[in-house]
Amino acid sequence: MSAPQKPNTKDDVVIRIRGLVNAFGDRIIHDHIDLDVMRGEVLGVVGGSGAGKSVLLRSIVGLNHPRSGSIKVFGQETAGIDAEDMRGLQLRWGVLFQDGALFSSQTVAENIQVPLRRWTDMSQGLMDEIAAVKLALVGLPKEAGTLLPSELSGGMRKRAGLARALALDPELLFLDEPTSGLDPIAAAMFDQLVNDLKASLGLTVFMVTHDLDSLRDAADRVAVLVNRKIKTGTIAELVHDPDPWIQEYFSGVRGRAALSSA
Amino acid sequence: MRNVAPTIRVDTPATLRTERRGNAVRIVAAGDWLTSEAGRLDKETRNIPTTGAGEAEIDGSGITNLDSAGMWLLLRMKYALEAKRVPVKSFVIPEHFTSLLSAVERDGPVEPVVITPPPHGLTHFLERTGRGAFGALHQGYAMVGFLGRVTVETLEALLEPGKELPLPGLVHQIEETGLTALPIVGLLAFLIGVVITYQGADQLGKIAAGAEIYTIDLLGVSILRELGVLITAIIVAGRSGSAFTAQIGTMRVNEEIDAMQTLGLNTTELLVVTRVLGLVIALPFLVLFADVVGIIGGMMMCYLDLHITIPVFIREFRHSVSLNTFLVGMIKAPVFAFIIGLVGCFEGLRVERNAASVGLLTTRSVVESIFLVIVFDAGFSILFSKLGI
């Protein structure tokens, strides 16, 4: 089966969501939400535990099937999409799962090479070189390539997962709570990494996070999932939103400390 | 109730004393009011005598050490008194415990956490049975869908083997499910051959003297037609079926399968088809091996127990079985392999993200695959007898 062709659309809106409804049984998670993610921006997605941040991410990448609504990525509707077209989309995005989701029986380098092996016709030698490039890109030492995921620290696992997500040089990057479990220094370094990569690779980033510091340091805009709805804007705009959860989030003790050092 | 002696010693045992001062009840608490003392204090702090009292005082100034359990008991007394309309006029504890007080006091008395036992009774039994039946039907429905998907993907992989089906992966599966199973299958088949011969000879000897020679017929037919395949399939179900479920289940827990999907990999091909196809290739060879070893086991028993020499054995054996006998057994092998692989992978993909789930579904997959193997075996028996094979 030949590699699906990447359609050539240079839309300003990379992800367009309209009227999305997600529910599990009787429990409604998302009640007709709309969202636009613009090319080249880092969108931070926040919300209380259980507000559906990860569900939203998984709906966009096709791991969840929403009740109703439209999700268009790169101008292409993902609901009812056929497998071939989905592959085309998957080549253009990369996903970093919480804790990396690395294939536990393979080394870091082999993990990075999995999409390369499947979707390109690179020789083994070239794949080894590209893997080294990706490791350097995410700030991992070359020796990390020969380690198994179980031999890595949490921070290294996330970077390794990021390296794999970037293996095919995607245009769109999904991050699921990238700084959770990292010490403050590692978390700050990761935010810096996201910024650097956004600038150097021209990435659009959809970042689900709890971390106010990440929002301040890395996010251009923020989308807040609250009461099964979504509110989007810059931090400066959202700080004035009267919703009690949003107020608490941005104006509580941690919020003010994080934002005031901006 | 016998009180178990506490293993934690406190410096100053907790004490509780009640006095009456005119209209007021005065409760004096002193010592180390800690968790290790709470068991004993539980009874003492209940039912403070309040007859004829208009108000109460709780004096904890003599408390030397206090933790949240001790604080709770003090507060509980206060709430109980207030519930009995005896206002608590003063509540004294040493000053450095005030923050503990506000932590435990919060918004007022907390409801104890009561876990209601699951209801029992006839209606609930019927309800559970009904749910179980629907659950099983639902599962069967899902499995049929999975069967369809795997069949299509397997055929696709066979007809156009491209990048999708990894040959190294397939070979690895054949090695894991087939090659490494040879010793155990061989050993058990050998023993089955021994047992059949021994028991068979025993019974046949009762019919007529010299009837023992027909043990060889019994051995040949039962091993080749039925037992060779069945025993091997059951061993493989326990060995490989559970391995499939555990491997795939653990990958689900680690989100590895999600990661594979987002990378555009076909998880059904990579995970399921390689395993199922590997097993379909490996099992017939295992069955062949089991047949041979089982018969050798029987042959050895015939020699040792019945003193039937090998040439005599072989002659009788060739009389009693034909190529047909062998093929009838062999034809079942790929079918059983498909069932075991399918069920193992199916349950693996249904594992939820907790440890109990992996164990539960692994058990279930072994039981289900053995069950289905035996059901299909019975089906084959009926089919062959109708066809006169």
What's the token pair of residue A191? 């935010």
The rounded distance, in Å, linking the Cα atoms of B143 and B130 is 20
Per-residue pLDDT at B338: 95
The rounded distance, in Å, linking the Cα atoms of B166 and B164 is 6
Per-residue pLDDT at A7: 47
Q: Which residue has the tokens 């089955």?
A: B192
Q: How many Cβ pairs within 8 Å bridge chains A and B?
A: 53
Per-residue pLDDT at B279: 95
pLDDT band at A261 (very low <50, low <70, confident <90, very high): low
pLDDT over 60 at A1, yes or no: no
Helix (H/G/I), strand (E/B), else coil: B12: coil
Q: Does A101 contact B261 at a Cβ distance shorter than 8 Å? A: no
Q: What is the mean pLDDT of residues B236-241?
A: 95
pLDDT band at B374 (very low <50, low <70, confident <90, very high): very high
What B92-95 contacts at long range (C-beta under 8 Å, 24+ apart), as own/partner pairs, is B92/B57, B92/B58, B92/B59, B92/B60, B92/B61, B93/B60, B93/B61, B93/B63, B93/B66, B94/B60, B94/B61, B94/B63, B94/B66
pLDDT band at B8 (very low <50, low <70, confident <90, very high): low
Phi, psi of A180 (to 5 degrees): -65, 135
Q: Which residue has the tokens 């019919």?
A: B207
Tens digits of per-residue pLDDT, A39-55?
999 999 999 888 899 99
pLDDT over 60 at A3, yes or no: no
Q: Does A90 contact B256 at a Cβ distance shorter than 8 Å? A: no
- Nearest 5 degrees, angle CA B132-CA B135-CA B140? 125
The percentage of chain B sitting over the pLDDT mark of 90, rounded to a whole number, equals 53
- Tell me which residues of chain A have a C-beta less than 8 Å from any C-beta of chain B: 1, 58, 61-63, 86-87, 90-91, 93-95, 97-99, 101-104, 114-115, 118-119, 161, 164
Chain A touched by B352 (CB under 8 Å): no
Phi, psi of A205 (to 5 degrees): -125, 130
Minimal CA separation from B295 to chain A, in Å: 40
Ordered by where they begin, the domains of chain A are: 14-92+172-179+189-262 (3.40.50.300), 104-169 (no CATH)
What's the token pair of residue A81? 């999409």
The per-residue pLDDT of chain B, averaged, comes to 88
End-to-end CA distance of chain B, in Å? Answer: 72
How much helix, strand and coil, in percent to the nearest 5, is found in chain B?
70, 10, 20
- R_g (Cα) of chain B, nearest Å: 36
Considering only A138-142, B91-95, B106-110, which range has the smallest mean pLDDT? B106-110
Is the pTM higher than 0.80?
A: no
Tens digits of per-residue pLDDT, A185-227?
889 999 999 998 888 888 899 999 988 888 888 999 999 999 8
Considering only A18-32, A53-67, B151-165, which range has the smallest mean pLDDT? B151-165
Tens digits of per-residue pLDDT, B197-234?
999 999 998 998 888 889 999 999 999 999 999 999 99
Q: Does A119 contact B162 at a Cβ distance shorter than 8 Å? A: no
Q: What is the mean pLDDT of residues B140-147?
A: 92
Per-residue pLDDT at B9: 66
Per-residue pLDDT at B51: 79
Render the burial of B90-128: b for 16+ CB within 10 Å, e for the rest: ebebeeebeeebeebbeeeeeeeeeeeeeeeeeeeeeee
Check residue B66 and report its DSSP letter: E
Phi, psi of A182 (to 5 degrees): -95, 145
pLDDT band at A100 (very low <50, low <70, confident <90, very high): confident
Tens digits of per-residue pLDDT, A177-196?
999 888 888 899 999 999 98
Interface predicted TM-score (ipTM) of this complex, two decimals: 0.72
Q: Does B251 contact A104 at a Cβ distance shorter than 8 Å? A: yes
For residue B210, with 0-12 CB atoms within 10 Å meaning exposed, 13-18 middle and 19 or more buried, which class applies? exposed
Instruction: Please indicate whether residue B116 or residue B217 has the higher confidence score (pLDDT).
Output: B217
Helix (H/G/I), strand (E/B), else coil: B70: helix
How are strands ordered across the β-sheet holding A229-233?
A93-96, A172-176, A204-208, A42-47, A221-226, A229-233
Per-residue pLDDT at A117: 87
Per-residue pLDDT at A18: 95
The per-residue pLDDT of chain A, averaged, comes to 87
Tens digits of per-residue pLDDT, A163-173?
999 998 898 99
pLDDT band at A2 (very low <50, low <70, confident <90, very high): very low
Contact, B50 vs B104, CB < 8 A? no
Contact, B187 vs B295, CB < 8 A? no
Instruction: Outline where DSSP puts E strands in chain B.
Output: 15-21, 24-33, 55-66, 88-92
The rounded distance, in Å, linking the Cα atoms of A140 and B202 is 72
Contact, B267 vs B321, CB < 8 A? no
Per-residue pLDDT at A5: 44
Tens digits of per-residue pLDDT, B316-360?
999 999 999 999 999 999 999 999 999 999 999 999 888 789 999
Q: What is the mean pLDDT of residues A27-41?
A: 93
Tens digits of per-residue pLDDT, B264-311?
888 888 899 999 999 999 999 999 999 999 999 999 999 998 899 999
For residue A76, with 0-12 CB atoms within 10 Å meaning exposed, 13-18 middle and 19 or more buried, which class applies? middle
Q: Answer left, alpha or beta for residue A203, where phi above 0 means left and psi between -120 and 50 means alpha.
A: beta
Q: What is the mean pLDDT of residues B98-124?
A: 75
The rounded distance, in Å, linking the Cα atoms of A82 and B21 is 85
pLDDT over 60 at B159, yes or no: yes
What's the token pair of residue A130? 């590209």
Of A166, A192, A163, the C-alpha closest to A179 is A192
Contacts of A164 in chain B (CB under 8 A): 259, 263
Instruction: Please indicate whether residue B114 or residue B75 has the higher confidence score (pLDDT).
Output: B75
The rounded distance, in Å, linking the Cα atoms of A189 and B132 is 52
Cβ within 8 Å of residue A223, ≥6 positions away: A35, A43, A44, A45, A46, A230, A231, A232
Residue type, B10: V
pLDDT band at B56 (very low <50, low <70, confident <90, very high): confident
pLDDT band at A28 (very low <50, low <70, confident <90, very high): very high
For residue B185, with 0-12 CB atoms within 10 Å meaning exposed, 13-18 middle and 19 or more buried, which class applies? buried
Minimal CA separation from A154 to chain B, in Å: 14
Per-residue pLDDT at A95: 95
